[in-house]
Amino acid sequence: MDDRTEHETSDGSTPEVDVAFARLQAADPAAGSDPDLASVLAAVSARTDVDLATHPADELAARRNRRAPRWLTVAAAVAGVAVVAGGSYAYGLNSSADPETITAAPPISLAGADDGRDAAAPQTASMAAGAADSAKLMYPWYGGRTVFTASGLSTDGGSGDAWGFDAAGTFSQDTIVQAATALGVPGQPRQEYGSWSVGTNDGTGPSVSLSPDGLASLSYYDPTRDPWNCVRSAPDSIETPASDAAGGVAMPEPAIDKGECTTSEAAPTGDAAIGQAKDTFAALGLDTAAFQYAASTDPTSPQVTNVTASLVVDGQQTGITASATIVADGVQSLYAPLAPMVELGSYDVVSPTEAVARLGDPRFGITGGGGVMPLAAEGMRATDDTVASAGPSSDPTVPANPVAGSPIAWPVQQVTLVSARLGVALTTLPTGASVLVPTYELADADGVTWSVVAVVDEQLDFSAAG
Amino acid sequence: MPSRTPSTPDLEPDDPPVDEPDGIDARRDGEPVRDAAWLEAVVREHASAVHRFIVRRAGRDEADDLTADVLATAWRRRADVPAGAELPWLYRTAGFVVANHRRKGRPVPVGDVPDEIDADDPAMRAVQDAKVREVLGALGARDRQILLLNAWEGLTGEALAEVLGIGRGGADAALSRARARLREAWAATEA
C-alpha cells in the first residue's frame, strides 16, 4: 500500500481503467440542467412566508456605491481582436458530462484588456512577421491590410450598460485580514510590493495575498496540501555520496519525503466540488450567484478537481473568472476577484454598421503592426499543422522573377461582416481600473469574429494617456 | 411530538425563532440567528445542486416542487444546518424528500423516513445508457445510492459520510466496495 503511485485512488484501483465509473458519470440524467432561480425563490417564499428577493437587479442596485465619471476614458486606439465565434468557453469540461457547466455566451475580448497596453501602437506593417505564417492562415495575413464591409447589419444605434469594479474600496488591510480568516491562514498582515499579504512564503504554510489591481484580485495557495508535493521529478537536494574507502559512490537519497505526500485521496467532483468552491467564494464576499461554474477532474489525477467560475452579465461571460483547486479536504488554492461590480450606467452605442466602419478607423482598429488579426492566425500559429490554403511545400523554392511593368501585387484582405452581437468586454483604463465596456462582436459568414468598442464617440475620451 | 410535512408553511414572518420539536433552540451558541438573508444565500448557492439531485432520482416533472420543499425544510430546521457544510445536509434532506415522494404521496414526517431506497429506482430509469442501466440494476440498492452520490453529485470523504448518515470510515469503505462491485458487474457484462 505504501508504494502506490500518485495515480492510484484510495481504493487501490488505477483510474485509467475504471471505464465503468466513467460511463456512470457520463450517464448523468441531469447534466446541464438548472432550475429557474427566481421561481425557486418564489416557491420557497410561499412555503416559508419568508420574504426572499426575486430580482437580481435589486442586488446590483444595492451594491452601487458611487458614480463613475460619465465619459469613459479609453485608450486612444482600441484594436479589434479576432475571437473565436461561437466557441464555447466551456472551462474544464470533463470527459464525462458535467452536472454544472457554463452556459452563458462566450466572452468578448478587446485588445489591451489584459495588459493595459497603451494603444499608440506602431503603424509599421509587419509584413515580415506575417509572411512566414501566411501559408497557414485561414485568412492570409497581408500585414494587416484589411477592408471591412458591413452586409445586412442594422443602422440603428442603441445603448448598453457599462460596469466598473470597486477595487479602491476593497483593497485594504481589513479585506486581507477577513480573507485570511475565512481561508484559515495564520499570520499578521503585511504590505509587500504594493500587495497585502498574510502567511509565509517559504512553502511551509499557506499564504494569501490581495493585489492592488483593478479587480482587487485575491490569491491563496497552501503548498502543504498540494497533492503534487510527492511528485517531484528531481530531488531538490542530493545528499553528497559518502566517500568510503572502497571508492564506491553511494546513490543519492531521494529528497522526496513520502511523509509529506499529503494525500492520494480522491477530491470531490462535480457539484460537490462546486459547492465547496461556492462556499469559500461566498465567505470571501463574492456574489456567487453572478457566476456560472464548471468542475473538471482529470480521471488520471483524482486527487484534484479544478473549479472555474465565470462572471456572467446579461447572459454573457465577461471574461472575468474565479477559480479554486479542490482536494479531498477542501480548497487548496484559489484565485478570486474581490472588487464588487459597480454600475457605470447606460451609454449610447453606435449601430453595428458604424461599428464595422470603426474597424477601419485608426482610433479603434490598427491596420498593421499586429492590430486586427484573423482568429485563425492565433490558432494556426500555435500548432504546426498546415491547414487549407495554398501552402508552400516544406522545402523553400526560389520565387519567380516579377515581370517588368506588371502591376505590383499588393494584396488586401476583404472581409464582409454579416452579424453583430452587442455585449461587454473587459478593458483596462489608463489608470489601471477595470471596466466592462459595451462592445460589438462582429462576425463574417464563416464565424470569424472581430470586436470593437461600441460606445459613441461623444462618450469616449480620446485624449492621449500621457 | 407534532408531525409536520415539508410543504406546510408553519412560520409567520414575525415569529420568533422556532423551537424545534426536540427542544433545540434556533440559536446556536455564539452564532447569529439565521434570517431571511441566510436562507436566500442558501437558495442562491445550492438550488441548482439540489434540483439536479432530485431530477436524477425523481424526474423533472416534480423537481421544481420538491426542490422548494427541501429548501423550505432547510428554513424550518435551520438550527440544524451545519455552517460551511450546507450542501451535504441539503442532499440528505433531499434524499428523504424524494423517498417520501415515491411513497405515492402518502405524507410521512420527514424525520421518520428510513434510509432504504426503493428497489424500483427511478434513477435507473432516467439513465439513457442501456449498459449503465443494466449494470446498475445488477447492484444492490445501497451500492447504487453510494455510487450515484459519488459519480453524479461528486461527493467523497466527509461530505459523502454526512449525506449517508454514517461515519467517515464506513463511508470510505462502502464507496470502495461499491466501486469495486461496479467494475466487476461491468466486466461481467463484457464477458
Q: What percent of chain A has pLDDT over 70?
A: 65
Least confident range of A65-79, A290-304, B23-37? A65-79
Residue A89 confidence (pLDDT) above 80 = no
Nearest-Cα distance to chain B for A179, in Å, is: 15
Residue-wise pLDDT for A189-246, tens only, equals: 999 989 999 999 888 899 999 999 999 999 999 998 888 765 443 444 444 444 444 4
pLDDT of residue B101: 86
Residue-wise pLDDT for A377-420, tens only, equals: 333 333 334 444 444 557 889 999 999 999 998 888 888 999 99
Q: Which of B159, B121, B110, B51 is nearest to A328 (CA)?
A: B159
Residue A36 confidence (pLDDT) above 80 = yes
Report the predicted TM-score, pTM, of the whole model to 2 decimal places: 0.68
pLDDT of residue A143: 53
Nearest-Cα distance to chain B for A327, in Å, is: 10
pLDDT of residue A91: 30
pLDDT of residue A141: 47
Q: Please report residues of A whose CB lies closer than 8 A to that of B151.
A: 21, 24-25, 28
pLDDT of residue A233: 38
Task: Say if the Cβ atoms of A99 and B183 lie within 8 Å.
Answer: no
Give the mutation candidate from B10, B33, B52 for the A interface (greatest A CB count, under 10 A).
B52
Distance between CA atoms of residues A224 and A227, nearest Å? 8
Provide mean pLDDT across the span B129-136.
88
Residue A67 confidence (pLDDT) above 90 = no
pLDDT averaged over chain A?
73
pLDDT of residue A269: 93
**Confidence at A108, pLDDT banded by 50, 70, 90:** confident
Distance between CA atoms of residues A204 and A182, nearest Å? 19
For B45, which of A26, A278, A329 is closest by C-beta distance? A278
Residue A93 confidence (pLDDT) above 80 = no
Q: Which of residues 33 through 52 in chain B touch A, CB cutoff 8 A?
A: 36, 39-41, 43-49, 51-52
pLDDT of residue A392: 52
Residue-wise pLDDT for A265-295, tens only, equals: 889 999 999 999 999 999 999 999 899 999 9
Q: Please indicate whether residue A123 or residue B99 has the higher confidence score (pLDDT).
A: B99
Considering A126-140, A232-246, B149-163, the range whose residues carry the highest mean pLDDT is: B149-163
Q: Which of residues 102 through 141 in chain B touch A, CB cutoff 8 A?
A: 123, 126-129, 131-133, 135-136
**Confidence at B60, pLDDT banded by 50, 70, 90:** confident
Q: Which residues of B63-74 are buried (b: 16+ CB within 10 A; e: fewer)?
A: bbebbbbbbbbb
Is the separation of the CB atoms in B154 and A270 below 8 Å? Answer: yes
Residue-wise pLDDT for B8-21, tens only, equals: 444 444 444 444 44
Taking CA B177 as the corner, what is the angle to CA B173 and CA B183, rounded to the nearest 5 degrees?
Answer: 150
Q: Please report residues of A whose CB lies closer than 8 A to that of B191.
A: none
**Residues recorded for chain A:** 466
Task: Say if the Cβ atoms of A48 and B72 lie within 8 Å.
Answer: yes
**B40, B43, B45, B51: CA torsion to nearest 10:** -170
Residue A328 confidence (pLDDT) above 60 = yes
Collapse the DSSP code of A126 into the 3-class scheme (helix H, G, I; strand E, B; otherwise coil) and give the result.
coil
Give the mutation candidate from B45, B54, B152, B175 for the A interface (greatest A CB count, under 10 A).
B152
Is the separation of the CB atoms in A116 and A78 below 8 Å? Answer: no
For A48, which of B9, B155, B180 is closest by C-beta distance? B9
Q: Please indicate whether residue B10 or residue B108 has the higher confidence score (pLDDT).
A: B108
Residue-wise pLDDT for B74-86, tens only, equals: 999 999 999 888 9
